[in-house]
Structure formats: C-alpha cells, structure tokens
Amino acid sequence: MSRFKNKRVLVTGGTRGIGRAAALAFSSAGARVVVAGSTAQSTAAAVAEFDDASITGVAGDIGNVNDCRRLVQNAIDELQGLDILVNSAGVFQPASIEETDEDLWDRIMNINVRGSYFCSRAAVETLRQNRGCIVHLGSESGVNGYGGSTAYCASKGAIVNLTRSMAMELAPEIRVNAVCPGVVDTDMARRGFAIDGVQEKGIQQQRDSYPLNRVATADEIAASILYLASDDSRFITGESLVIDGGATVGK
Ligand SMILES: NC(=O)c1ccc[n+]([C@@H]2O[C@H](COP(=O)([O-])OP(=O)(O)OC[C@H]3O[C@@H](n4cnc5c(N)ncnc54)[C@H](O)[C@@H]3O)[C@@H](O)[C@H]2O)c1
C-alpha cells in the first residue's frame, strides 16, 4: 500500500489500457497520480470512472509539442512536483509501406516518439530536483521489427534508443527505462489485430503464437512499470524490458 507513498506520478495515455492500469496500480500503492488523456471530455470521463481522490486528469494532444509542455506543467502544478513520468500515450496502426504516406508516418512518429521525448524534456528539471525516473512504453516490435507495421516498429525502435541515450545524459539524477510488451489485451491490440473486423479472432490468433497460450493483461505490464519506477530497480537505467510471455525467446 505504501510502496509509492508521497510519490507524484504523471501517466500520459493514463485514461485507457496500460496507462490506466498503471495509474490505478500507482494509486493503490499510495501515489498521487495525474493521468493525461487526449481530450478534455475523454479525460474527465476516465477520471470520473476512477472515482479515486488521488487520481486527477489533464488533457492535451501528445502529438503537439505545446500541448506536451502544457500538460506536464499542469501536472507539476497540480502535484506540486513530479517524481515519476510514465509515457504510455501511443498509437498503433498496421499499414504496409505503400499505405504509409507522410501523414500517417508523421502521426505515428509525432505521438509515439516526439510526444514521449517532449513530455520527458518538459519534466527533466523537476525530475532532476527530485531524483525521479521516467518509464517509456516501447514494444517488443521495436526490438525485433515486423512487416506490415513498419512505421510503428520504427517508432518503438526509436523509444529503445531514446531510453538508452536519455539514461546516459540524465544520470545520475534521473533513471530512464522502458517496458517493451508483446501483445497486450487492450483496445489498441483488439482494434489493430482484428481479423475481418472481428477483434476476438485477432486476439485468438495472437494468443496461439504465445508459449504461455495467452497475451498479456494491462495489469501485468503495469506491474513491470511500477517495478522500473520503484526503488527495487534503483541500479537499473537505460534498459528496455521485453515482456512477451516468451514469444520471442530463441528466435
Ligand atoms: N496493447 C499492446 O499490445 C501494446 C504492445 C506494446 C506496446 N504498447 C504500447 O503501450 C502504450 C499504451 O498502449 P495501450 O494498449 O494501452 O493503448 P490504448 O489505445 O488502450 O491507450 C492509448 C492511450 O494513449 C492516448 N493517446 C493516443 N493518442 C494520443 C494523443 N495524440 N494525445 C494524447 N493521448 C493520446 C489515448 O488517449 C489512450 O489513453 C502505447 O505506447 C503502445 O504503443 C501496447
């Protein structure tokens, strides 16, 4: 309950999926949390659903640098400081190289890479003062790469190297790590892997290729995020932790 007592946490993309699970887990462990969602309406709805006095919200488009600065500053003001930043906001849109035009490329890169970078940059001064940490959401696909979602894989590959480079530059005051999940059963994966529009079919197909016969839950990824944000991982920085139920072991 008190593992994160008095810790102040900002989770971008905290209104849904992995970010939402992380926000709940941090709050249950004693932290005060601000979740950042993409619109005022969706953020207010998520905060109302949390029904938890220790979770509040800010809204902004992570693909827009001014919004990144503003929402990080709003969270710092609200929490009177910041100890932990989790960059979970992201988009996944399977598309072949022929289908990936400039607009789609820019959208994926702006939200997944530029957003994570500029939210982190806006938080650096405060995190330095508090000897805080950053946890990025990479992806197993950013380590191994897949056809059919090249831009997404490139964006998550960038997160892996952003994690290493930021860790080197921000040490010793700020630790920077990433979690790199395989498929996680969230709206993102259900929409992205749907077969003929049927989400369950897509999840089933993914599940069949996993040694543990299932994909991850958002709570399981949240548990690793909390580990990387906790004192238990105090000698870990620059790491990208692949969490894929053994799907890529030995490949
Ligand atoms: N679900 C998976 O299988 C999986 C696997 C590996 C990595 N990831 C990564 O984990 C992170 C979270 O994924 P998820 O499954 O929870 O997805 P999700 O779609 O359930 O949630 C994504 C969150 O990002 C926010 N977001 C998206 N675009 C935004 C924008 N322009 N501005 C502000 N917020 C925006 C959404 O509001 C939402 O809260 C992402 O970075 C994703 O790439 C997911």
Distance CA 128, CA 141 (A): 30
11, burial (CB in 10 Å: exposed 0-12, middle 13-18, buried 19+) = buried
* Closest residue CA from atom 41 of ligand 1: 90
The model's pLDDT over 32-62, given as tens digits with 9 standing for 90+, comes to 999 999 999 999 999 999 999 999 999 999 9
Using a 6 Å CB cutoff, which residues line ligand 1? 13, 15-19, 37-38, 61-63, 88-92, 111, 137, 139, 181, 183-184, 186-189
β-sheet with 32-37: strand ranges across: 55-59, 32-37, 8-12, 84-87, 133-137, 175-181, 240-243
At residue 1 the predicted structure's pLDDT band, cuts being 50, 70 and 90, is: low
Residue 122 confidence (pLDDT) above 90: yes
- 92, 93, 135, 205, best to mutate for ligand 1 pocket (most atoms within 8 Å of CB): 92
Give the active site residue among 117, 146, 152, 210: 152
Short-list 50, 2, 4, CA closest to 31: 4
> What structural domains and CATH numbers belong to the chain?
8-181+217-235 (3.40.50.720), 183-215 (no CATH)
> How far is ligand 1, taken at its centre, from the CA of residue 54, in Å?
22
C-alpha 205 chain-centroid distance: 24
Residue 250 confidence (pLDDT) above 90: no
Q: DSSP characters for 225-246?
A: HHHHHSGGGTT--S-EEEESTT
The full length of the chain comes to 251
> How far is ligand 1, taken at its centre, from the CA of residue 20, in Å?
10
117 is catalytic: no
What number does the ligand 1 atom closest to the CA of 152 have? 43
Rg (CA), the chain: 17
Cβ(17)–Cβ(219) below 8 Å: no
Distance CA 219, CA 180 (A): 14
Looking at residue 251, its pLDDT comes to 77
- 66, 152, 183, 186, best to mutate for ligand 1 pocket (most atoms within 8 Å of CB): 186
> How far is ligand 1, taken at its centre, from the CA of residue 224, in Å?
16
Mean pLDDT over 75-98 rounds to 98
> How far is ligand 1, taken at its centre, from the CA of residue 193, in Å?
14
Residue 97 confidence (pLDDT) above 70: yes
Q: What is the value of pTM for the model shown? A: 0.98
The model's pLDDT over 140-196, given as tens digits with 9 standing for 90+, comes to 999 999 999 999 999 999 999 999 999 999 999 999 999 999 999 999 999 999 999
CA torsion through residues 191, 193, 198, 199, sign: negative
Phi, psi (rounded to 5 degrees) for 104:
-70, -45
Query: For residue 222, what are the CA distances in angstroms to 109, 141, 146, 178?
Result: 23, 18, 24, 12
The model's pLDDT over 231-244, given as tens digits with 9 standing for 90+, comes to 999 999 999 999 99
